[in-house]
Every structure is written in C-alpha cells, then in structure tokens.
Structure 1
Amino acid sequence: MDKQTQTEIEAATFRRLLSHLDNHKEVQNIDLMILADFCRNCLAKWYMAEAASRGEEVNYDQAREIVYGESYDSWKTKYQQKATPEQLAAFEARQQAKASQ
C-alpha cells in the first residue's frame, strides 16, 4: 500500500470513529476513560498535538469542535450527564491501577 492510500484510509477511519461517537452520545466520556483510557477530549488533544507537529495551529476549542461536531459547551449542555458515584469509583480505581503499573 502506498503512503497516500494509507493516509486516506487512516483519515477515513478517524472520521468514522468520530461519526460512531457522535451516533452514541449516550456513551459518556467517563465511560470511555474507564473502559479505554481515552475519551473525546483526548482525541481533541491528540488532534491539536498532531496539527502542531505539522506546523498548523489548532487550539483546544477548535480541536474539540472537530471531535464533538459542535462547540464543547453546547455538546456538554445537551448530552453530558453528571457522573454517578459508581462511575467516579471505577474511574478512580482505573487511575490507581495505572499509577501502580
């Protein structure tokens, strides 16, 4: 596979991931962090870092808008739920497990 085709496939895969997350707004960021150790905000940070590594300036709010498909504040108001005690406990256990590795 040539490099251009690989890049196009990777870009399409990223767009598909964003679409999948957009179609599953019920999956909260804390759930993603507990299960996969990344969330939508992580994707935005990675996007911002990759842009910077290529000399492009994309700030965090711009990157989050790309990932969320709208401003973070708007998405948060519409879809983010308050974390449950169980989610917070699972997140804390995940963080402690990572720290002890």
Structure 2
Amino acid sequence: MDHLDDATRTELEAAAFRRLLRHLDEHKEVQNIDLMILADFCRNCLSKWLVSAAEERGEALDYEAAREYVYGMPYSEWKTHYQQEATPQQQAAFAARQAQKQEKAR
C-alpha cells in the first residue's frame, strides 16, 4: 500500500474498519470473550481505540458513544439481547490467554 497517497490509504483503512464492524454485527453470536481468547481484542477494545484516536487528534469522543457506534446500538441493549454468560471453558481459555501474555511480557 506504499504506492497510495495518505488520503486514499486512510479511506481504504476506514472502509475496512466499517466492514469489520458490519461483519461483527452480522455475527452477534461471536461473543467478546471469544474474540479476546482468539485475537486479544473485542468490540469494547475497538470502542476504546476510537476514543484514543479521537483524543490523539484533540477531539472529544465519549466512550459510550463509541460503543454505540461499534455495537450498532446502546451497549446495554446489545448486552441484554446478545451477550451470553461466559462458560467455564471460555473463562479458563481466557485465563490461559492472559497468563500467556504475562509470560511473554517477562
């Protein structure tokens, strides 16, 4: 992508991000804990990254507004309709992932 000008690259990155959000929206069965176990990020992380990017540019973006953008609805509504209780297996896999990250950090 080095041959692209900054504006075009930014437009492509933004389009890919919007596609990622649509994909996550189309797959609400994928729980945040599953994303955290497999990829070490979730929908909440995307929301935090948006807030951080806004702050870096001197813009104000409320975390709840960012979450509503990422989730496509208020987080409380998404949680009520789509979030499931983490299974013991998911909790164990998440704990193992966290331990693995801590070990790498040493």
TM-score range normalised by the length of the shorter chain:
over 0.9
| Correspondences of 1:9-28 after superposition (within 5 Å) | 9-28=12-31
Aligned equivalents of 2:54 and 2:68: distance in 1? 14
Q: How many residues are treated as equivalent by the alignment?
A: 101
Compute the displacement of 1:66 (Å): 0.8
Partner of 2:36: 33
Partner of 2:64: 61
Deviations 1:25-48 (A, max 9, x none): 000000000000000000000000
Q: What's the Cα RMSD here?
A: 0.5
Partner of 1:76: 79
TM-score normalized with structure 2 length:
0.94
- Asked if 1:45 is matched to 2:48, the reply is yes
Aligned equivalents of 1:56 and 1:66: distance in 2? 16
Compute the displacement of 1:59 (Å): 1.2
Q: Would you identify which runs of 4 or more consecutive aligned residues in structure 1 move more than 6 Å?
A: none
| Residue identity opposite 2:7 in structure 1 | Q
Deviations 1:21-79 (A, max 9, x none): 00000000000000000000000000000011111100110110110011000000000
Percentage identity across paired residues of the two chains:
65
TM-score normalized with structure 1 length:
0.98
| Residue identity opposite 1:54 in structure 2 | R
